[in-house]
């Protein structure tokens, strides 16, 4: 028996409504083209098959109200539902919620879980929450955390909340603070690292970031929280700008790499921390403060996991 060919969609012309203004074209298409694999969305963007106002655009193009987006005919695989996320993982993420209202979810994301699927991952936090909250049709990540970073992650349940928080993030309306365990004795006098960051994509598809004068301006403020002799320091990091891998690259640039960082770390230091039971990246988004759309201030904190806590206890001993 022959398999029937996959159905092909026709050309689509999508007019951008005002509420989508400022959204990246890749994120817009992923929400508009339900059931279309993410890999296909990125492929048609990469090949220049998506046109905006009859012109080619890049995947990072930000939409404007009234833009006309032309989507080429798509050969669709049978539209299977996304593979369901395992019940144990759903329960773990549900238990990680530290704040929820009608427009926003804030969770304490465990280390090792990606914020979204792709690159060989069948699911991430956002796919899991679409399963956990099927009635919230506009669920979107407000920002991202690296897969190996734990801590506070915001998910908007409404487009209006997403717009409000993106605007706040572009200004200084969101205060995000991280804890990082770094190599050596961080000087008390070193209160900030200002170094431009440039993104490079390697052939493998892996993304690396380096300090480079041609990069984008980046500033992180630091404060010492606890010292472990000359061996390690627990610091608080406040990223004033929001560049990819910013804290990880800035700590290394300062000569104090983060424990357990496979990309930018110090392998000898990381190995010694692993021997104490610390088999993770020691970067945790622990505090978040912002103002909700109705003017109410919101402040949340997220505790570290047992592995982090026990490693620091052993270090202190």
- Catalytic positions are 146
Token readout for 146 is 């690296």
Q: Which of 285, 252, 38, 299 is nearest to 145 (CA)?
A: 285
d(CA 8, CA 6): 6
d(CA 296, CA 300): 13
Token readout for 208 is 């690396």
Cα first-last separation, the chain? 69
C-beta of residue 284 within 8 angstroms of C-beta of residue 307: no
Name the H helices within 96-138: 125-132
d(CA 106, CA 156): 9
Phi-psi region of 112 (alpha: psi -120 to 50; beta: other; left: phi over 0): left
Q: Which of 71, 60, 56 is nearest to 16 (CA)?
A: 71
d(CA 224, CA 65): 45
Residue 233 neighbours by CB under 8 Å, 6+ apart: 181, 182, 184, 185, 186, 224, 226, 227, 256
């Amino acid at each position: 028996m022959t398999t029937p060919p996959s159905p092909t969609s026709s050309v689509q012309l999508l007019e951008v409504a005002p509420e989508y203004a400022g959204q990246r074209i890749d994120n817009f298409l992923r929400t508009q083209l339900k059931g279309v694999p993410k890999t296909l969305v990125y492929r048609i963007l990469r090949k220049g098959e998506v046109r905006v106002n009859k012109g080619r655009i890049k995947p990072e193009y930000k939409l404007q109200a009234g833009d006309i987006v032309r989507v080429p005919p798509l050969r669709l695989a049978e539209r299977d539902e996304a593979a369901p996320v395992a019940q144990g993982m759903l329960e773990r993420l549900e238990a990680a919620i530290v704040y929820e209202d009608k427009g926003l979810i804030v969770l304490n994301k465990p280390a090792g879980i990606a914020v979204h699927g792709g690159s060989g991952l069948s699911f991430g936090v956002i796919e899991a929450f679409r399963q956990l909250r099927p009635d919230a049709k506009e669920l979107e990540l407000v920002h991202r955390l690296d897969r190996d970073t734990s801590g506070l992650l915001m998910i908007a349940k409404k487009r209006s909340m997403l717009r409000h928080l993106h605007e706040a993030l572009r200004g200084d309306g969101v205060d995000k603070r991280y804890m990082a365990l770094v190599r050596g004795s961080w000087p008390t006098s070193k209160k900030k690292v200002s170094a431009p960051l440039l993104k490079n994509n390697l052939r493998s598809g892996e993304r690396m970031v380096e300090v480079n004068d041609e990069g984008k301006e980046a500033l992180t403020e630091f404060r010492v929280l606890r010292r472990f002799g000359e061996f390690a320091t627990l610091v608080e990091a406040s990223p004033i700008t929001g560049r990819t891998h910013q804290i990880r690259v800035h700590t290394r640039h300062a000569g104090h790499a983060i424990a357990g960082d496979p990309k930018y770390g110090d392998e000898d230091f990381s190995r010694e921390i692993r021997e104490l039971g610390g088999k993770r990246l020691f970067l945790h988004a622990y505090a978040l403060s912002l103002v909700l759309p109705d003017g109410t201030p919101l402040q949340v904190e997220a505790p570290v996991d047992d592995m982090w806590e026990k490693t620091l206890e052993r270090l202190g001993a």
